[in-house]
Amino acid sequence: MLKIGLTGGIGSGKTSVTNLFAELGVTIIDMDILAREVVLPGQPALRDIKKTFGEQICDKNDELNRKKLRDIIFAEPDKRQQLEAIIHPRIREQAQAVINKLNTPYCIIVIPLLFETGRQDTIDRILLVDTSIEAQIQRTMARDSISEDYVKNIIATQVDRQTRLKHADDIINNTGEISDLKAQIKHLHKHYLELSRKNNPNS
């Protein structure tokens, strides 16, 4: 199974791109969604988080209080490592469980912070959704009704555009109209099907 790691900065168009791949029947595995699922009430990761951060990290309904958790790991950086040690293996496990059940030539794994958290060795190729910083700011402000400074601060915490461009295997140019995406995605889809056939000539 060919595994494509899709990444890109905030508001670059990852969701818009994955929606189009999904229309072509491609399975999308979103690491952000899995990250939320592994800490739902009753999950082993939540139990471990409570052991490390105390029962008060959850609200009365046993739901993880994300704001409290964010404040703690912001104030104590080594707590972030403890949190990651709890959730990352579970996220990878869940992703692998989905992959094991697939019977398709390739899948796309959305890893927004792929460069920030270190390339995953399970990924065969990196697909980057690229756009200008100005477009990232304008589109995210419009989508989330937030200020320019807020978006700029998030962009500042992410890896820079040049680094992403340098390390990507494939690039989707999303600097233009949203309607420009379709043709690029069709072309990549064909390319990935060919690659997976080359990897598995008997399939």
Burial 60-90 (b: 16+ CB within 10 A, else e): eeeebeeeebeebbeeeeeeeeebeebbbeb
Report the site for ligand ATP in 24-53 (rule: CB under 6 A).
Answer: none
Considering beta carbons, is residue 32 or 76 the nearer one to ligand ATP? 32
133 is an interface residue for ligand ATP by CB under 6 A: no
Other CB atoms within a 10 A radius of the CB of residue 125 amount to 16
161 is an interface residue for ligand ATP by CB under 6 A: no
196 is an interface residue for ligand ATP by CB under 6 A: no
Q: Cβ of residue 185: shortest distance to ligand ATP, in angstroms?
A: 12
Applying CB under 6 A, among 2, 5, 13, 95 the residue interacting with ligand ATP is 13
Count residues near ligand ATP (CB under 6 A).
15
Is there a contact between 147 and 28 (Cβ–Cβ < 8 Å)?
Answer: no
Q: Cβ of residue 58: shortest distance to ligand ATP, in angstroms?
A: 26
Applying CB under 6 A, among 3, 4, 7, 12 the residue interacting with ligand ATP is 12
For residues 122 and 107, give the distance between their C-alpha atoms in angstroms, rounded to a whole number: 12
5 is an interface residue for ligand ATP by CB under 6 A: no
Q: Cβ of residue 171: shortest distance to ligand ATP, in angstroms?
A: 14
Is there a contact between 164 and 14 (Cβ–Cβ < 8 Å)?
Answer: no
158 is an interface residue for ligand ATP by CB under 6 A: no
10 is an interface residue for ligand ATP by CB under 6 A: yes
143 is an interface residue for ligand ATP by CB under 6 A: yes
112 is an interface residue for ligand ATP by CB under 6 A: yes
Q: Cβ of residue 129: shortest distance to ligand ATP, in angstroms?
A: 6
Q: Cβ of residue 90: shortest distance to ligand ATP, in angstroms?
A: 22
Q: What does the binding site for ligand ATP look like in residue numbers (CB under 6 A)?
A: 8, 10-16, 112, 139-140, 143, 174, 177-178
